[in-house]
Amino acid sequence: MTRSRVLTIDDDPTTGVEIVAELKNYGFSVDWVGDGREALARAIGGGYDAITLERMLPGIDGMSILAAMRTVGVQTPVLMLNVPGDVDERIRSLRARGDDYLTRPYNSGELMARLEELIRRSQEPGLGATVCANSLLRAGSLALDLAARKVTRDGAEIALLPTECRVLEFMMRHVGQTVTRMMLFEAVWSYHFDPGTNLIEVHMSKLRKKIDVPGEESMLKTVRGAGYVLTV
């Protein structure tokens, strides 16, 4: 069985050694980098199933590394570590497209569980959509190029904002399945609770306006009291 490869980015040698030891103890294959520039080169180079990224780094900080990765289309799941405890900083990490975060001190078991879940999500193609060898996700006439983050319907390109694209990707990976609000909050925003806002409703409304064909039934349907389903 192939072991999942993890890149650990942390400038503190003591912490880096501890994380590497913990990850290896749980069966991961781990590379550790303490320099921001080398870390960025490794992350962009690919080959990793997940990355643990220290929030505070000298030179190129963690947020800059994350932003650079996402800009060039690297979608490797990133677990941000040592995110400051205040809400604004946690939101910044999520909006920068970090997939999850942990504040210190954290439990090693929780670190493993979060990494395993991020890797599982990223490797799960879903039941109804097809992932082609060129990273093209299809659901009926809808297509999403995962590398270019380009969406088309019947060949016509659709301009989506980054978060709209992530919502659509999650729905396309679960075609025909009822997706709950909680599933969306965890997958797209990495919230492990329902903040009680209309955030999801707003994004679904915008997606319908962009991907639906006038006069045809909407692909995105609301399942009253349960969530949403993408049909083809």
The pLDDT tens digits for 115-133 are 888 888 776 654 445 444 4
Contact status, residue 47 vs residue 76, Cβ threshold 8 Å: no
% of the chain beyond a pLDDT of 90: 22
| Burial of residue 224, with CB atoms counted within 10 A of its CB: 0-12 exposed, 13-18 middle, 19 or more buried | exposed
Unique residue bearing structure tokens 């009680």: 196
Residue 199 has pLDDT above 90, yes or no: no
Contacts of 125 (CB under 8 A, 6+ apart): 131, 137, 173
Over range 190-201, report the average pLDDT: 77
Which of 23 and 191 is assigned the larger pLDDT?
23
Over range 186-199, report the average pLDDT: 76
Contact status, residue 39 vs residue 9, Cβ threshold 8 Å: yes
Q: What is the pLDDT of residues 210-225, one digit of tens each?
A: 999 988 999 999 999 8
Mean pLDDT (the chain, rounded):
82
Q: Provide the residue type at 62 as one letter.
A: G
Give the predicted TM-score (pTM) of the model.
Answer: 0.54
Domains and CATH numbers, the chain: 5-123 (3.40.50.2300), 158-230 (1.10.10.10)
| Burial of residue 131, with CB atoms counted within 10 A of its CB: 0-12 exposed, 13-18 middle, 19 or more buried | middle
Which of 46 and 153 is assigned the larger pLDDT?
153
Q: Provide the residue type at 148 as one letter.
A: A
Over range 126-141, report the average pLDDT: 63
Q: What is the pLDDT of residue 1?
A: 46
Over range 150-176, report the average pLDDT: 90
Which of 170 and 93 is assigned the larger pLDDT?
170
Give CA–CA dist 133/209, Å, rounded.
Answer: 30
Residue 43 has pLDDT above 60, yes or no: yes
Give CA–CA dist 191/140, Å, rounded.
Answer: 30
Over range 18-33, report the average pLDDT: 90
Q: What is the pLDDT of residue 127?
A: 43
Contacts of 35 (CB under 8 A, 6+ apart): 11, 59
Over range 141-148, report the average pLDDT: 86
Report cis status (omega within 30 of 0) of the bond before 105. yes
Which residues, in sequence order, are bridge partners of residue 229?
Answer: 221
Beta strands in the chain (DSSP E): 5-9, 29-33, 50-54, 78-81, 100-102, 130-131, 136-139, 142-145, 150-153, 156-158, 220-223, 227-230
Q: What is the pLDDT of residues 53-91, one digit of tens each?
A: 987 777 777 888 888 887 777 788 898 887 555 566 666
Q: What is the pLDDT of residue 124?
A: 60
